[in-house]
Structure 1
Amino acid sequence: MLQKILILILGFSLMAVWSPQPGPQAMAAVCPVDFPLFGGSRGGGKSDCLLGRHLRGAEVYKRFWNGLIVRRKYKDFLEIRRRIDEFIMMGLKAERIGGDQQTNYLRFKNGAQVAMPAISRLEMVNDFVGHQYCEISIDEVTTFPFFSRMVDKLKGSNRSPHGVPCHMFGTGNPGGPGHSDVKEYFKLGSVSPIKPGQVWMGEGPESRVFIPSFLDDNRILCEADPKYVNRLKA
């Protein structure tokens, strides 16, 4: 398992526009578990990791990579859109299609694609019935008060007819309307809590793991903006 993870990380290091930072971000970027949750404090590099997994998937599987990134509201995609545009300026062979208040698409020159819709109500998940996504990413999981029910519905679309390994991936900070639901889903703080980094089997069976992330783990941000931690405390 360790050798496989090291090979995956090496593959990331060869990418021109993004590679994971050592530590939790690298672990989450190549985690082979069915549903990893990369969570913790703000500034830990979680959303960047989420995007990085799709970049690598598109590079490896090309036109067979069809990904999905979900957020609660379209305005919540602001930073993700900005980051994608930055990657494109750095040489990513792709284009982002869509406006501020509609589903965006990241379309790669090699045929890979990632859709980025907002799901503000549970019934909107029905729009994805019959779709096929090899990686379904939920950014800021605790913003969804219907998190576990949404996941149950989306699981039916987490498949690939081309043999691409399929995963779900979540990021999140503590708090929010879905906080308790997420804690229960990943068995965090329960009567018999699952420890960070401990892989366990959910329903299905489906393997899940919580990978904690902290601001100190994001060395790039800490070095570029050393006063950020003080602003968070203010």
Structure 2
Amino acid sequence: MSKAPSTAEMLEMVKAMPADLKRELDKLLLADGAPIWVPQDGPQLSAYNSPADIVFYGGSAGGGKTDLLLGLSLTSQEHSIIFRREAVQLVGIEERMAKIIGTRKGYNSQDGVWRLPGKRILELGSVKDAGDWIKYQGRPHDAKLFDEICHFTEMQFRTLIGWLRTDNPKVRQRVVCAGNPPTEPEGEWVKRFWAPWLDPNHGNPAKPGELRWYFTNEKGEDQETDGPEPVMMGGELVKPQSRTFIPSSVDDNLFLAATGYKAKLQALPEPLRSQMLRGDFNAGAADPAWQLIPTEWVKAAQARWKPRDAKGQMTALGFDPARGGIDKSSAAPRYGNWFDHLVTVPGIVTNDGPKAAGFVVPLVRNGACICVDGIGIGSSALDFLVGLNLLVLSVVGSNSSELMDKAGQLRFRNKRAEMYWRMREALDPLNPDPVALPPDPELAADLCAVRYKVVTMGQKAAIQVRSKDEIREALGRSPDKGDCVAMTFVSNIPTPKQAKKERSWRDRLGISQRKRGSAQAA
């Protein structure tokens, strides 16, 4: 009995067929009810069949990532949408879909909507600016599909999947992301979101395809739980969602096996070669030319951090309050050149002065100065803290600075430039006593998102850094953790007044004895 040909062998046979014979084969297959697209054996099939609510498929280039998204919309979903960060990037998806189904019939290029066989619908969407997600607010889809997920901000991703729903109980709802490792710091959130698979330092690593369950806790943060069972939070049951990561590579894609594409990936320079060929999420991404604090400096500061039982004297407490929305209020307890874990709460908890003060006051130790963002809700918190006779410093980033950098060559455009540049100097590994930062991925992302430029200020050159709004645009969220740490580096932070030490009975007795001895001698 002859052995059945493998998938790869059948593909080679089809490739060798004349064009007219291929067309006849297509007609026969469609007449026989064969699906218009099927996933390839291996990782692509595993991702297609994964029961996870949120799947990340890919890592390496050439693993059939875009085909998976198109295949899902063609065969298993009723109303899908594929997102790319920019509209121009959707052209390749349009072309690939036309090649798969053999026609552009049913495609409205103005609306970006495909009317597919089987009464299925696929939309193509883009969110170039951080706030463009609002264009899709309230629009239901049973599949939210992201091509090159590391190009999106975390806020865009989380908000866009919020309207995943369908009124057809027979159709499964799912989120599938495809992409390569991030090449810029703004994409590092992906490594946090899928940390059990992508972070080598994770305490409980996961295997490819393994399911992990998460829910959003009362602090607005992801929290892992043991399984799909509902979790009681805030007086109501919350259903966790499952995630997984399934790696793929060009070796898993039969259609590219004979094209020489792998050789092109092998010829890429490092770290791009490791990222695209092997899907290495920990290969060093090159910092942008004007990144203020090098990524390696931040990693080194977090690597030298060790927990302390005896923390010593608190020297400052940075506080960046938020009024509400998705922003968080964050506080950074500083003890010399060592920072304790940052403390955060949802902005709604600190939406007025008394509430903001109620959050931060219990965190103060040793009468340390509270450095508060003095704009917006921060001004209300500031007034209330001053009324409590606490040591407080208002930090207004737009105010002028009189300082210069350590080399004495450059001035600072404003206080924001001053505090971030001074922090940069403190993080410099050549500093005799460099700063130690807690291992907080969001803090690292905030600090690495700051850019700077040299501008003219009067007769001198000055350093100007990216504004908070510009960082918010890049990250898709407020850089509250980075700002609360940076505020502790602003100049002229007052030191607490040392309280008079009460003399012990031994001291008082010693003074009395000396006085009595002096009197007897006289």
Provide the TM-score with structure 1 as the length reference: 0.81
Aligned-partner Cα distance in 1 for 2:190–2:34: 32
Which stretch of structure 1 is more off in the superposition, 149-158 or 14-23? 14-23
Post-superposition Cα deviations, 1:81-122, rounded to whole Å, max 9, x if no partner, equal 1111112317x9x622115xxx51111254321110111122
Structure-1 residue corresponding to 2:23: none
1:32 Cα offset (Å): 1.9
Among 211, 214, 221, the alignment partner of 2:246 is 211
Matches within 5 A, 1:18-167: 18-58=37-77, 65-89=78-102, 95-98=106-109, 103-144=111-152, 146=153, 148-163=154-169, 164-167=171-174
Q: Deviations over 1:164-216 (max 9, x none)?
A: 21110000101234431101011121432433222101225110000000111
Tell me the residue number matched to 1:61: none
Return closer, same or farther for 1:116/1:175 CA change in 2, 3 Å cut-off: same
Q: Which residue number in structure 2 is paired with residue 8 of structure 1?
A: none
Pick which of 28-37 and 172-181 moved more: 172-181
**Residues in 1 aligned to 2:67 and 2:34: alpha-carbon distance in whole angstroms:** 14
Equivalent residue of 2:106, what SS? strand
Distance 1:45 1:72, change over 3 A: same
2:180 to 153, 173, 185: 173
Distance of 1:168 and 1:179 partners within structure 2: 18
What root-mean-square deviation, in Å, do the aligned CA atoms of Structure 1 and Structure 2 show? 1.9
Distance of 1:180 and 1:194 partners within structure 2: 19
CA distance in 1, matches of 2:213, 2:34: 32
State the alpha-carbon separation in 1 of the partners of residues 39 and 177 from structure 2: 16
2:266 maps to which residue? 233
Q: Tell me which amino acid in the other structure corresponds to 2:91.
A: L
1:186–1:194: 8 Å Cα contact kept in structure 2? no
Give 1:201's aligned residue.
Answer: 213
Alpha-carbon contact 1:39-1:172 (below 8 Å) kept: yes
Residue 117 of structure 1 aligns to a residue whose secondary structure is strand
Structure 2 CA distance, aligned partners of 1:110 and 1:23? 27
Q: Is the 8 A contact 2:142 2:166 kept in 1?
A: yes
Secondary structure of the residue aligned to 1:44 is: coil
Q: Which amino acid aligns with 1:173?
A: N
Do the aligned residues in 2 keep the contact of 1:88 with 1:95 (CA within 8 Å)? Answer: no
Maintained 8 Å contact 2:143/2:173: yes
The separation in 2 between residues aligned to 1:156 and 1:191, in whole angstroms, is 27
Output the CA distance in 1 between the equivalents of 2:253 and 2:145. 21
Task: Determine the C-alpha separation between the residues in 2 that align with 1:205 and 1:153.
Answer: 17
> Could you tell me whether the CA contact under 8 Å between 2:87 and 2:128 is conserved in 1?
no
The change in CA–CA distance for 1:41 and 1:197 in structure 2 (over 3 A counts) is same
Task: State how many pairs are aligned.
Answer: 206
Q: Which has the larger radius of gyration?
A: 2
Unaligned runs of 5+ in 1: 1-13, 59-64
Q: Residue 58 of structure 2 contacts residue 179 of structure 2 at CA under 8 Å; is this kept in 1?
A: yes
Contact 1:135 1:167 in 2 (8 A): yes
Cα separation, partners in 2 of 1:15 and 1:209, compared to 1, 3 Å: farther
Shift of 1:231: 1.4
Structure 1's 83 and 15: CA in aligned 2 closer, same or farther, altered over 3 A?
farther
Task: Please state if 1:221 is matched with 2:227.
Answer: no
Structure 2 residue runs without a partner (length 5+): 1-32, 216-238, 268-522
Separation in structure 1 between the aligned mates of residue 176 and residue 57 of structure 2, nearest angstrom = 8
Moved more, 75-84 or 131-140: 75-84
Higher relative contact order (CA 8 A, sep 6+): 1
CA distance in 1, matches of 2:161, 2:94: 25
Runs of 4+ in 1 over 4 A off after TM superposition: none
* TM-superposed deviation, 1:16: 4.0
Task: Determine what percentage of the aligned residue pairs are the same residue.
Answer: 29
2:355 maps to which residue? none
Shift in Å at residue 160 of structure 1? 0.7
Q: What do residues 115-160 of structure 1 show as CA deviations (whole Å, max 9, x unaligned)?
A: 101111221111222211000001100112x1x2122212321011
Deviates more, 1:185-194 or 1:37-46: 185-194
Q: TM-score, normalised by structure 2?
A: 0.38
